[in-house]
Amino acid sequence: MNKIIFFLIFLLFHTKSFSENLNFIKIQELNTPWGSSFINDDEIIITEKSGKIKIVNIKSKNVKEVNHNLDFREYGQGGLLDIIYQEDNVWVSYTENRGNRLTSTSIARGKFNREKIFFKNIFQANPPMDSDLHFGSRLTIKDDYIYASIGERGQGMIAQDANNHIGKIIRIHLDGSIPNDNPRFDNKPNWLAEIYQIGIRNPQGLTLSSFDKKVYMSNHGAKGGDWFGEVKKGENYGWKILGWGGKNYSGLSIGPKWKPGFTKAIYYWVPSIATSAITIYKGEEFKEWNGHALITSLKDQSLRKLIFNDLSNVKEDVIFKDKIGRIRDIKVHPTNGKIYFLVENGLWLMEKR
């Protein structure tokens, strides 16, 4: 009992020592923002789940709405989702209206334009479904590939069926064409061609590390069992055979935390923290964090840092809790390393005092 009390006191003061040295500034009010990407040192392009795309100038705080032609549907957890700007192109993942109440997590690409972006689909997760749950979805670019996380729409074991895109990590070229070294063309002939990894539940974090050039992700468990792990070609994270330490909302057991034959996550959270966006920090503002994973949370509104260079001894620090709200996205400024968050009420900056 004494050890538990000592640990709780240590955690309280350790968390406080981090947050006391931080300054939080609200840059702009927004309506349920979801994804963001730096256009340049001064501007961020942002999606709002309700359907708008906006450019926010972080210096002047001016906001410009960009028109678009996406046939989206704001539906439960769905709407406009992630967005990436690179070399005058924009990619967006979104809940596409497929008719008759059916929707899918789709990806579209368009030429950047400050007035209106004309998007064209380059991927649709099939089959479309009448479900408002677990769309995912994050995007990240590595070389000529775009990786995307596709949620399992609340359908559980469908994530084990590689004849659909639901509950999977997909990998396509930037123009939507299919890489000829995806798992289907190596040793997984029964997998759909776009699939890179299976067995995912609701993955809302995806990022490329500039240090080891690996792609990492975070995933919501059910009642417990959130995790952070590596995207691995042709492998299986096990949902819904595995419960990752969590239970069904009914209280019944799902399955073991892990067992041989499945991808093992780097770090688990039980009970759940509702993991959201992630990044591997690289910058000057918090240079002592370089190479560490930053994990955002919806449930306890926290930022957590993982030191994971030694997988046998992963260390977690809680940087802050309950400061700015439920954190949906995190981005590191490309030049100065300051950190920007999307929360449900807007865009926030975090810097050192």
Domain membership of residue 211 (yes or no) is no
Residue 283: burial class (beta carbons within 10 Å; 0-12, 13-18, 19+): middle
Determine the structural domain holding residue 67 and report its residue range.
31-132
From first CA to last CA, the distance across the chain in angstroms is: 37
Neighbours of 260 (CB within 10 A): 5
pTM to 2 decimal places: 0.94
**What CATH number does the domain containing 42 carry?**
2.120.10.60
Average model confidence (pLDDT) across the chain: 94
Q: Indicate whether 187 belongs to any domain.
A: no
Q: Are 164 and 192 in contact (CB under 8 A)?
A: yes
Partnered with residue 164 across adjacent β-strands are none
Q: Does residue 112 fall inside a structural domain?
A: yes
Cα–Cα distance for residue pair 169/150, rounded to 1 Å: 6
Q: Which residues pair with 53 in a beta bridge?
A: 47, 66
Task: Work out how many domains the chain is built from and give that number.
Answer: 1
Residue in the block written with tokens 């991927």: 123
DSSP class of residue 253 equals B
Q: Helix, strand or coil for residue 289?
A: helix
Q: What pLDDT tens digit does each residue of the chain (353 aa) get?
A: 555 555 555 455 455 556 779 999 999 999 999 999 999 999 999 999 999 999 999 999 999 999 999 999 999 999 999 999 999 999 999 999 999 999 999 999 999 999 999 999 999 999 999 999 999 899 999 999 999 999 999 999 999 999 999 999 999 999 999 999 999 999 999 999 999 999 999 999 999 999 999 999 999 999 999 999 999 999 999 999 999 999 988 888 899 999 999 999 999 999 999 999 999 999 999 999 999 999 999 999 999 999 999 999 999 999 999 999 999 999 999 999 999 999 999 999 999 98
Residue 24 is assigned to a structural domain of this protein: no
Q: What is the rounded CA–CA span in Å between residue 16 and residue 265?
A: 28
